[in-house]
A and B are shown apart, each in its own frame.
Chain A
Amino acid sequence: MSTSDGRIIGTTQILNNGSDINRFNMALLAEGYQAGQMAQFATDANNFVRRLSQTPPFHLAMNAINVFRVDVTSTDSGADDPVACGGTGRTARTYFDATFCGDGVNQRLCNVNAATAFAVANAQVPRHRLIVVIVNSAIFGGAGGSVAVYSLQGNAVETAIHEIGHTAFALADEYETLRGCASGETDHNNDPAVKEPSQVNITITGTNNRSTLKWGRYVLPSTPLPTTKNANCAVCDPQASPVATGVVGAFEGANTYHCKAFRSEFDCKMRTLGTVFCRVCQDAILRKLFPYSPLTFRFAWKGVGGDQGLYNGRGNDSDQRNISGSGSSTGPALATFVQTFMAWKGIFNDQGIYYSRQRHIDGVTWDTQQRVPGVGTSTGPALAVFQGKLYMAWKGIAGDQGIWFSSLDITFSWAPQRPVPGVGTSTRPALAAFQNRLYMVWKGIEGDQSIWFSSYDGANWAPQAPVPNVGTSASPSLAVLGNRLYMVWKGIEGDQSVWFTSFDGFTWAPQSPVPNVGTSTGVSLCAGPDRLFMVWSGIAGDPSLYYTAFDGSFWGPQHNYLDTGSSSVPAVLVTF
């Protein structure tokens, strides 16, 4: 049972986000697959990628990752299954020598020869950052360490994702026992708590105070600290969480100890396989992954309530910066036209439309704002690049529900405004270039919550038509993914849920809800190379900004853009 029990067939890239020099490269190695089972391994490897991409926060950073499938055959399928752990006693001649019962006690511990795994990965995927071995067995098993291992039974893949938390992102275990809470263990009552852990997701200090707590920026002032204390350190803390799922605080019991070590949320994938990574772990993962990503996604928004300041930040950094000298009562629109380009309505009763460019190398500094001559809006503009020009469309000033448009050429001269004939809206339209036409969607005029669309060929607008069976009280948004035009929108009056549909050039698909999100203002959409990014402010009473991604079939869970907020629709721009 060794490398003589199989051979390396070759390596295939199954997720390609550009040069492997700059990406976070994963090597997936086949173990216990016979030569005739390589197609099955290909399927299993694709399933792993899909599962990972649907595990938050990876859905926001998959563009940072390349995945390589290394086809390795074995003489036999499966893995050793020793009798000592209740197994069948079967031995399998496999390349990486996988065996259940890796400690002689627990069948579920499935080990491989890590030295062989490294030798193969170093040769086949020299720029690997992570090695995952997929064991072709229906017995549940997995293992961690420097190589993540999982079998094909049920949720065993979650063991690999937990181990990735350790191996690739230096996350600590958040569970509060070594041998099990019912084991009667007495040597894991109190963490020795000698020195603060270097891992970001556990702590032994500062748990009484947000200002000293390692992850204090995530803790709401209303959350008690510590959030839980274990009343009896001889056992695991039996109490249920006193706060809602996802609330960040300081919960006693972590790092395999009942007491004196704290975790940031009641539960986390670093504590329980069947849950999501906690917010602190999610951001640690994103901080590590984003530097590998070719994508930059920027947000821009007006402040909360009476704050009409304009802010922008890079989603990759979760920061916000005020754009000095500019303001808006409704929020901006973003596009890439030579540089990053932003347009917005002025503050209060100023219905002028302004624009600026962000062309400084620092990616932060914006040009002094310019006013678009001779135009006005009461709601704000929309932007899209079409036929080499930047097009802008907007509802007219107060009392004018007509929709107007103009374009900016490469010399940065605005064309005279023109009306889109025969249409009207009470909110802000949306634009996107699709199939060599400029598409526009908009909510109807006052009292009409239906959504309408038209398209422009560079000379004429097609007659308006309704998007069937949808409605909104706000502004819809558009972006193109693959060969479809996607639209997202807030529901009608009283409905704060978010809906989406897509258009193939002829027919709109039936609307579907974006799960588990809500907004009182509306949503914005922008396309990356293989997924859409959406940003919005929360439901009534929650001005926080949230974002997520959609890969064409799956909407990932929302991610709060920390320490920001808006009382209007934020804008999102993805560049790559």
Chain B
Amino acid sequence: MGNTPQYPSSPTQNEPRAIRLTFSYVGSQIELTDTQRLAMFVPPSDSLEAARDQSGFWVEVRDADEQLLFRQVMHHPIETTREVFPADPHGEIIRTPVADPRGVFSIVIPDLTKARILALVGSPSEADRRSEAAREMARFDLTRITGGDYDK
């Protein structure tokens, strides 16, 4: 099975352009730790209209006027509980609290010409507040994203 993949040095005109952003978090504090520009397909945006008045977590890419350009619903990345799985596949899955939530996650967004702002929108991290309305947890200025050349 398989062969060693080869990566192009840069996207051609017709190749999709994307940015991977890798974050770390401690508690609810989210920090951007790495960016990569990539020739990489990003699926179409989730519904832009549904972005209001919901719980959960999603990323938003906005233009300079805060108009929504792209939205991607995600699993809430801040783990305040962790799943414990049963050895019996028909047994009960439970969750156990995380005493000191910290971790890493990444997202991939389309590299849109008009994009200026990346917002991470989520319900409060505390386990008992996950059904509250999502609010902006962090925002990042996409014009200041370096990330180097494509597929550096």
Contact = CB atoms under 8 A, between A and B. Distances in A.
Interface string A242-273: 00000000000001100000000000000111
Contacts of A154: 87
A81 interface: no
A169 to B, nearest CB: 8
B104 interface: yes
B79 A145 contact: yes
A253 B24 CA distance: 32
B83 A272 contact: no
A273 B73 contact: no
Given A145-B79, A192-B132, A175 B93 contact: yes
Interface stretch (A15-23, A296-304, A307-315): A15-23
B68 interface: no
Contacts, number: 188
Interface string B105-117: 1101000000000
Contact of B93 (A10, A105, A153, A273): A273
A390 B133 CA distance: 58
Contacts of B43: 288, 291-292
Interface residues of B, number: 65
B117 to A, nearest CB: 20
B133 A194 contact: yes
Nearest to B5: A13
Contacts of A256: 95
A557 interface: no
Contacts of B140: none
B1 A14 contact: yes
A122 B34 contact: yes
Nearest to A12: B2
A171 B74 CA distance: 8
A115 B131 contact: no
Interface of A: 10-16, 20-23, 46, 68-69, 102-103, 105-106, 108-109, 114-115, 117-118, 122, 125-127, 129, 140, 142-146, 153-156, 158-159, 162-163, 166-167, 170-173, 175, 177-181, 183, 187, 191-199, 204, 255-256, 271-275, 288, 291-292
B64 interface: no
Contact of B131 (A103, A109, A126, A204): A204
Given A180-B94, A255-B131, 4 more contacts: A103-B82, A159-B85, A194-B132, A195-B132
Interface of B: 1-5, 7-8, 11, 15-16, 20, 22, 24, 34, 36, 38-41, 43-44, 50, 53-58, 73-75, 77, 79, 81-98, 103-106, 108, 123, 127-129, 131-134, 151
A103 B98 contact: yes
B42 to A, nearest CB: 9
Of the candidates B56, B79, B123, B127, the one having the most CB atoms from chain A within 10 angstroms of its own CB is: B56
Contacts of A173: 83, 93, 95
A11 B103 CA distance: 25
A199 B24 CA distance: 23
A126 B8 CA distance: 12
Contacts of B96: 103, 105-106, 109, 179
5 contacts: A126-B20, A155-B87, A198-B134, A274-B88, A274-B89
Contacts of B84: 103, 106, 108-109
Contact of B128 (A170, A180, A192, A195): A192
A130 to B, nearest CB: 11
A198 B82 contact: no
A155 B83 contact: no
Nearest to B52: A195
Q: What are the 10 closest A-B residue pairs judged by CB atoms, nearest first?
A: A274-B89, A198-B56, A146-B105, A166-B75, A195-B55, A13-B2, A140-B87, A14-B2, A198-B54, A159-B85
A10 B5 CA distance: 11
Contacts of B50: 198
Nearest to B58: A198
